[in-house]
Structures are given as C-alpha cells and as structure tokens.
Structure 1
Amino acid sequence: MKTLGQLQAVKEHKEKISMVTAYDYPSAKQAEAAQIDIILVGDSLGMTVLGYDNTVQVTVEDMIHHAKAVRRGAPDTYIVVDVPFGGVGVTEQYDLEIAVKLYQQTNANAIKAEGAHLTNYIENCSRMGIPVVSHLGLTPQSVGITGYKMQASNKEAAQQLLNDAHAIQQAGAIMLVLEAVPADLASEITKQLDIPVIGIGAGKGTDGQVLVYHDLLNYGVDYKAKFVKQYGDFSVGVDALTEYNKEVKSSRFPDENYTYKKRVMDEDVK
C-alpha cells in the first residue's frame, strides 16, 4: 500500500498517480491487481450500482457498506471514501460524528468531502486525525445548483477556484480532486499547491487522474462524459447472458460436461 508520504513523493518527483472509483469486492480486487495507486469509493455508487437518479439519495450506511467491501477486496491499496450528501454541513458535532464513523468503520485511509466551504470541517477532522481529500470544481452533490458542465469558465471564477484550492490546503486537506475545469487552470493549481491534485476532466497537467471503474470498462453505462476513455467493454455480458438464456430454454444447458455423473436413483438412498 502506498502511504500518503509516498503519494506526496510521487508529486514531488513529477510522476503520476492513478486513481479508480470502485464500489465492491471484485472491482477492488481487479484495481489492486492492476497496481492502481488509490481507490475512491465514491458516492457515484448511487447512480452506478444502486440505480438512483443522483448522488443525493446515497446514505452514510450505503458508503460504509460498499467501502468495507472494497477494503476486503483491496487490503493493500490506499482507499478514500466519500462523505455523502447530508453527512457534512449540519452541525460541527454531527459532522465530526459522521466523519469518525466513516473513517473508523470502513478502515479507509481518508475521507473525501465536496466544496470550498468546508475549510473548518477539514481543520476539525485534521485535529481528530482524520485525513481529508477535498473535491472542487464540478461537485456532483451540488449539481442541482451548478448543473453538469465545465466549472470556472471565466477569469473571475478561475481566480476564485485557485483561491479555494489554496484555502483547503491551508486548512489541512491532504489531496485535491479537480473535476470538469479548464486544463490550463487545473495545471496552474497543481503547480501552486504542495498537495497532490487528481484530475477528472481537468487535462493532463494534474498530478494524477481518476476515472470510474464502470465508465472505463463500459459496464452498465448509459451516458459517457467527454472526459471518459473506455479501456474495455463489459457490455459483452449482455451477449453472454442472451446465449445462456437461449441454451436454458432449448435445454442445451446443462449438457453432460456440466452435470454430476454419479447415479443414486438405482441405489438405496439413506
């Protein structure tokens, strides 16, 4: 498992960090086998594996359930778990209770929280010994306000995002995820920050990249964002299931190759 110090060293040596968003035991096993540096258990699991319309419906219990499965599948990988909608921004005491619950019960290496307004939260968690990854730019929990579109698209908004990035670093964030922002801005933020910056739809100038397991493998995906590259095609599963269905209905499966041979009907069974 890469430590936070090792991930920091990767940035300092101007190498790249790989991150994959995954949600269960088998996908985590594959990510670890592929030597992915970080697994993010994102609240995007609401849409990707639970069939919700958005991330707002995801609960703390959902996140804990899936993150524990990911840890079992990837015991030696650095794991970050999302704080879901409603898990932060209530009261300081409540926010910290949820942070402790997520961090403690999932055995994750860090939690991730969306938004530039959470500097106090980051400070409080850091004092408790809970590492926090920040998420700026397009923040899915706020799409009801921002919409799914590129963020910081003018000079004023770009400067604000740069200021926000410095603020979350000052508050104690250990890493930053930048989503759907102009490539030149993401590159500049990466240069100015000391902490690793992971991009998604933010160009190649960041310290690393993150994509969702299901997106990069075309696994049950209905919509492909501009920044998603597909490296495999799990949609072949539909063909396999169709063939299985046909063979069952035509009695071609199971044939003798998939059937136990021992006869018991001619014997006394006790």
Structure 2
Amino acid sequence: ASHTAAVARATDDALVIADMPFLSYGAGDADAIENCGRMLKEADADAVKLESGHHTVDLTRKLTRLGIPVQAHLGLTPQRENETGLYRQGTDEESASEIIDLAREHEAAGAFSLVLEHVPANLAEAVTDAISIPTIGIGAGPNCDGQVLVIDEVIGLSEGTAPFSKQFGDVRSEMRDAIDSYAEAVESGEFPAEEHSHYESDIDDVY
C-alpha cells in the first residue's frame, strides 16, 4: 500500500491502479474486499488489478458492486508462475477459448479493462473484438487498445528483458559508468575539489 500511495501522491491526472499482491485476495472474499478497499481508502488508488481466472469472476462482481473498480488480467499471470510457468498462454484452441470466455465473464462482472499478457497476437485481437472494455497488451501484439511494459525494461535498468519486451534506453550502463567514475575520482583525490568545498573563516580558531 505504501508504494501505491507514493505513486498516487506524485500523480495528477494518471489513473493509479494497484496491482494486488500475492495472497491479498483469493483466500476469502471478506479479506480480499477489505484489502482492495484499503488500496482506495488508504493508498488513494483509483482501481485495483487482479490476476484473474475462474476464481476472480465472483470477486470482481462483488468489488465493483461496492464501488471498487477492477482491472482484470489474463494470459500469463506471474503470481501463478509455480503453476503455469513463464510461458506464452493461450497457444491451443482449448486454452485460447478459455481466455476469451474469461474475458467476457470479467467484463460481465464489471471489470473496466483487461490486461492480456504474453498471449498470441491473434488471440489478443480476438479478445479485443469480443469485449467492449479496453484491452491492454503486454507481449500480446499490436491489436490491443493499449500497451504496457515494465519500466525497468523500457529504460534499460534491469539486467535483461522479457522476450516480448523492448529496451528503449540504457540507464543501467549510464549508472554503472557514473558510479565507477565517482569511485575513481574519490580514490584519486580528484573529488571533492576546491569548487565542491566551502570554508568558513570564522571557525579557524576552533582548530
């Protein structure tokens, strides 16, 4: 909640969506509703995102009826990595049909948008055509209504990128070069130099 609150404090017009953490929902509706509600009341989020499946359809309905906007998330769901692995989802007819059905069910339950992660581009296009709420793609091809990537990968801060991601900058190298240069300057005595130091003549008698 503290991370969400920090983002909310720094934004004016952006929609702040709290990605609900592992085990903050799913065990029981009462706890899930309380945890999601706290994100809006205490962290000032505008909505919550749930990694979705059959188990979140009814919860999505209950949350939206209480006035808690829900963004659903289908395809690759990282919180279920131990179960599904980090592989492309919806790659056969049965699993693709299930994703389309779940997208429709979550829309009917009141979800205001849907993240599609690491699914075939033609499946993402089919889901986008099948529902009226916006789809947000991450590794789901160009035919979603919007796109999202992990910021560390976009700016090149992480050590690697997902196969469906793209690095648009190289912050990691810039940071490494700057830190190495700083360490070298300190070790050589180049920094801090006179221009980085302040002397006060009134305290000369102290020493």
- If the length of structure 2 is used for normalisation, what is the TM-score? 0.95
1:74 aligns with 2:74: no
Aligned to 1:256: 194
Aligned to 2:141: 203
Aligned to 2:42: 105
How far apart are the structure 2 equivalents of 1:268 and 1:143?
63
1:225 aligns with 2:128: no
SS at match of 2:149: strand
- What is the Cα deviation at residue 75 of structure 1? 2.9
Question: Which structure has more RCO (C-alpha within 8 Å, separation ≥ 6)?
Answer: 1
1:85 to 22, 36, 54: 22
Which amino acid in 2 is paired with 1:255? A
How far apart are the structure 1 equivalents of 2:201 and 2:169?
44
Which amino acid in 2 is paired with 1:208? G
SS at match of 1:81: strand
1:128 aligns with 2:66: yes
SS at match of 1:244: helix
Which amino acid in 2 is paired with 1:99? C
SS at match of 1:266: helix
- If the length of structure 1 is used for normalisation, what is the TM-score? 0.73
How far apart are the structure 1 equivalents of 2:154 and 2:108?
33
Higher gyration radius (CA): 2
Aligned to 2:103: 165
SS at match of 1:211: coil
The C-alpha deviation readout for 1:129-163, integer Å capped at 9, x for no partner, is: 00000000000010101000100101111111101
- What is the Cα deviation at residue 267 of structure 1? 4.8
How far apart are the structure 2 equivalents of 1:223 and 1:234?
12
SS at match of 2:16: strand
Tell me the percent identity: 37
Gaps of 5+ in 1: 1-63
How far apart are the structure 2 equivalents of 1:68 and 1:152?
34
Aligned to 1:238: 176
Deviating beyond 4 angstroms after TM superposition, the runs of 4 or more aligned structure 1 residues are none
